[in-house]
Amino acid sequence: MDKLQKITDEVGASSFRISGEHLIPQVFRKFKIYLKNTDTNFERKELRTLTYALSYSEKNEKSIFSNDDEIKSALHILNLGWRDSFFVGLIDCFLKNWETRHKQSLYYLEKFISDKLENYSGSRNTLISFKNNKRFFDTKNGDLILGDTLARLNKPIQEATKMLSVPDSWFAYPYFSKVILAYYERRKDNISDELDSLNEILTLHNNSTTNKRIISKLIIQVNQPRFAGLQDQIKSIAFKQIGDPGNIAMWSSFENASDTERADLLNARNILDEWIAKQFIDVFFRVCINDERRKKFWLKIASLNRLTFKVYGTAYTKGILKRDQRIAEYVDARFENVSSNRDVSAFILYIGNYMLVEFSDEGYAFYGYVANGSNKPDLTRSLKSVDELRNTGLPRLLYRSGHNITNTNREGPLSHSDGDVHWEQVFEYWLKNIAGINV
């Protein structure tokens, strides 16, 4: 208390009084007036508040930072009445707008901060730290250098704020997106040990752009047999941090994404869809049908083709599927209830221009439909039964005599019965030669 009283006596109690005139909205509006009337004067408190008002906007008034000329004017005013206390607000704005599309404004701010740090000769520890760590504030690669440095020093990524001498709450700022990325790139060879920590970091950072950057790379990295044990965990992380890959909007590209980042995001979503499809196929053909041959066949097709799928059935079947923790969180978005109580369900795969339907009852044939054709079932309405997925007026997909295929059709049913050749071979012939699907 004695120390606080001494400070108050030295700088004056008025320095600590908060006035409505010195709050961000009021200073922001005053600056907008200044742009029209340069005779407007700013007090020192107002100038300090202005550093925090650069990113502020309201109603029809855009932020100062979003306009090249306005940010130049603001920096000019700050330069005329410069105080070292302005540093923190300016660096706050700088890191908060690190990935902005307003690159010229960011350049002006970077140059201003850099020049002021260069000339700083005071004794404040925070500002000395800013000056010593100028390399981390370089918009070309400062964030990447920081992330790589932390990884090489074997320090937790959360210590990034301490290294920069900024508040821990700033860890949510866009600046730290590529800090985390660089950290991951340096440590990814030990991803099995780093995964839990990385998930905590993404949760703490809480930035959708960073989630897409990191998780897309994670998915691509572990999409190989030696990382099979990590795929379920990463699938769960992706669902929580980004969303269901079946929702294209959630997996859309972020602002200022590079061509590589856009390609990675699309590739990762496709891989994730494939993982989910394979797990649904595994569970469906094991639990609903218990047919190992059909499961093996469709798992192979799923691994060779880009696909989406839906399951139709009763509430009972849905409940069974949701008991499997690997697919539980994905069932609701991919399951459609039928009103019939008959315990027959259907698995619909969409591959290329085809809609392929497998049924849980062994007495039902497989059906293939042209996805944009007139013979396919109408799925815009609720179905009473999966029987409505069968167009019984269509001829068979192909006819055979011994080992020979005698006739083929683009749409229709095909049974899972063996003859002189196994049904799998017959299916592969139709899928490859008629439907144009990889087998």
Quick one: pLDDT at residue 10? 65
Region 338-347: mean pLDDT is: 91
Q: Could you tell me what percent of the chain has a pLDDT over 90? A: 82
pLDDT single digits (tens) 34-75: 998 878 889 999 999 999 999 999 988 999 999 999 999 999
Quick one: pLDDT at residue 12? 56
pLDDT single digits (tens) 273-317: 999 999 999 999 888 888 899 999 999 999 899 889 999 999 999
Position 113 pLDDT exceeds 90: yes
Position 18 pLDDT exceeds 50: no
Amino acid identity of 289?
A: I
Work out the widest C-alpha separation in the chain, in whole angstroms.
104
Higher-confidence residue of 325 and 290: namely: 325
The 3 state secondary structure assigned to the chain is: CHHHHHHHHHHCHHHHCCCHHHCHHHHHHHHHHHHHCCCCCCCHHHHHHHHHHCCCCECCECCCCCCHHHHHHHHHHHHHCCCHHHHHHHHHHHHHCCCCCCHHHHHHHHHHHHHHHHHCCCCCHHHHHHHHCHHHHCCCCHHHHHHHHHHHCCCCHHHHHHHHCCCHHHHHCCCHHHHHHHHHHHHHHHHHHHHHHHHHHHHHHCCHHHHHHHHHHHHHHCCCHHHHHHHHHHHHHHHHHCCCCCCHHHHCCCCCCCHHHHHHHHHHHHHHHHHHHHHHHHHHHHHHCCCHHHHHHHHHHHHHCCEEEEEEECHHHHHHHHCCCCCHHHHHHHEEECCCCCCCCEEEEEECCEEEEEECCCCCCEEEEECCCCCCCCCCCCCCCHHHHCCCCCCCCEEEECCEEEEECCCEEECCCCCCCCHHHHHHHHHHHCCCCCC
Higher-confidence residue of 39 and 6: namely: 39
| Sequence ranges of the domains in the chain | 15-251, 291-433
Categorize the per-residue pLDDT at 17 as very low, low, confident or very high, splitting at 50, 70 and 90.
Answer: very low
Position 268 pLDDT exceeds 90: yes
pLDDT single digits (tens) 344-357: 999 999 999 999 99
Q: Which residue, among 72, 12, 10, 20, has the nearest Cα to 46 in the 3D structure? A: 20
Region 137-149: mean pLDDT is: 96
What sign has the CA pseudo-torsion 64, 68, 71, 77?
negative
Quick one: pLDDT at residue 413? 97
Quick one: pLDDT at residue 290? 80
Quick one: pLDDT at residue 231? 93
Neighbouring residues of 363: CB distance < 8 A, sequence distance ≥ 6: none
Amino acid identity of 409?
A: N
Give me the phi and psi of 211, to 5 degrees please: -55, -45
Quick one: pLDDT at residue 246? 86
pLDDT single digits (tens) 89-109: 999 999 999 999 999 999 999
Quick one: pLDDT at residue 3? 82
Position 420 pLDDT exceeds 60: yes
Quick one: pLDDT at residue 40? 82
Position 5 pLDDT exceeds 90: no
Position 87 pLDDT exceeds 70: yes
Quick one: pLDDT at residue 15? 47
Of 63-67, 163-167, 172-176, 425-429, the least confident: 163-167
Quick one: pLDDT at residue 326? 87
pLDDT single digits (tens) 122-134: 999 889 999 999 9
Q: Which residue, among 312, 52, 339, has the nearest Cα to 167 in the 3D structure? A: 52
Mean predicted lDDT score pLDDT of the chain:
92
Q: Which residue has the tokens 């004794």?
A: 123
Position 423 pLDDT exceeds 90: yes
Higher-confidence residue of 147 and 290: namely: 147
